[in-house]
Amino acid sequence: MAIEAHFEHTIRSEIAFEGIGLHSGAPVSMKLIPAPAGSGIVFRRTDLDNFEIPATGRNVAKVSYATSLMRQSVLISTTEHLLSALIGYGVDNVIVQIDNLEVPILDGSALPYVRAFQTVGLKQQRRKREYIRILKDVEVEDGSKFIGVYPGSGYSIEYRIDFPDPIGFGTFSGDLESGVYADLIAPARTFGWKEDEPMLRNMGLIRGASEACAIILTRKGIENGPLRFADEFVRHKVLDLIGDLALAGKRIQGRVVAERAGHAMHTALVKKLMADRSAWELAYGYVEPVAEKAHAQAALVSAIA
C-alpha cells in the first residue's frame, strides 16, 4: 500500500546569512526567500542583474573540490551544503539570492541552515511533492571508487570511506525518510589536511578556510577537536552526497550506495540517471517498489502456507 503522499514546502519567511566563501575567501551576503510551489531551488546573482541559475544537473560545472553550477558563463560555487540542508530538511522551493560567486561556508556543515529552518518554520504548499522513483540499477565506477542507486522504498544511503590516518575506514547508513538528517547528518563538518594547504592555495582554493569552518587534520591527528561525532568524516560525505543528488531536482525514492566516492562521482551519477529515462519515474509520495512488493507477497503466502 502506498504511503500517504507528501506536499511541497517552502520556508515561512526570509532568512539572511553573512559569511565568506571557502575557496574564494570573498565576503558574501545570501538570503533565502520563499518561492511558489513547483519552482524548485533557484540561485539568483543579485550582483549580476538577478541572473538566475536553477539547481539542476544540466547546470553542473566544476566538481573537483566543490559542486558548482554554471549557466551562460555565470557561476555559483560550493552549493552542496546548502542544497543538502534544503533537500534533507524537506524544503522544495526557495530562491537563493546571493551577491557573489560562492555560497558562504559558515561553520562547514549544514547545521546553521537547519537551525534557521527550525526557527522560521516551513510552509506546506498545495502541490504534491514528486519523487524520482528508481526502477532499475544505475552505477558509476572509477577504479576502486563506486556509487550506485537502486530501487528501494525510502531514501536510504550507505556510504563507505577509506582515508589515510587519522581518518581511516568508516561507514554510515541511514534513511532520510526516518528524519535522521537534522540530528545525525547536518552537524557534520567538512575537513582537510593541513599539509595540502599550500598546494590548494596555489590552485586558488581554500582561501577562506580556517578552524572555524573545517576540521583540520595533520599526520599527528586532529588539530581542532573535539569531533561532533566519532564518525563525523563519513557523515559529512553523506551530507555532501545528499546535496549533490539534490541536483536531480527532486528527492529520490531508492537506495544509494557509495564507496570512496566524491563530488565528481556524485554528480556523474545524477547525469547518468537523468540520461536514462527508463531507470526512473516520477511518483507522488513513496510507493513500494514492484520487486519489494512481490517479495513481501511471496513471504506472506509462504507464512500462510
Q: Is 263 a catalytic residue?
A: yes
Q: Are strands 280-284 and 130-134 parallel, antiparallel or unpaired?
A: antiparallel
φ/ψ of residue 133, rounded to 5: -85, 115
Torsion angle (degrees, nearest 10) of CA 147, 152, 156, 159: -20
Assess contact for 63 and 57: CB atoms under 8 A. no
DSSP per-residue codes, 84-114 = HHHHHHT---EEEEESSSB-B-TTSSSHHHH
User: Of how many residues is the chain composed?
Assistant: 305
Q: Output the CA–CA distances (angstroms, integers) from residue 304 to 18, 288, 292, 300, in the order listed.
A: 61, 22, 18, 6
List the one residue out of 138, 134, 137 whose CA is nearest residue 252. 134
The type of residue at 212 is A
Q: Which of 6, 263, 266, 295 is catalytic?
A: 263
Residue carrying C-alpha cell 534513511: 175
Does the bond joining 226 to the residue before it have cis omega, within 30 degrees of 0? yes
Q: Is 160 left (phi over 0), alpha (psi -120 to 50) or beta?
A: beta
Q: Show which residues are catalytic.
A: 263
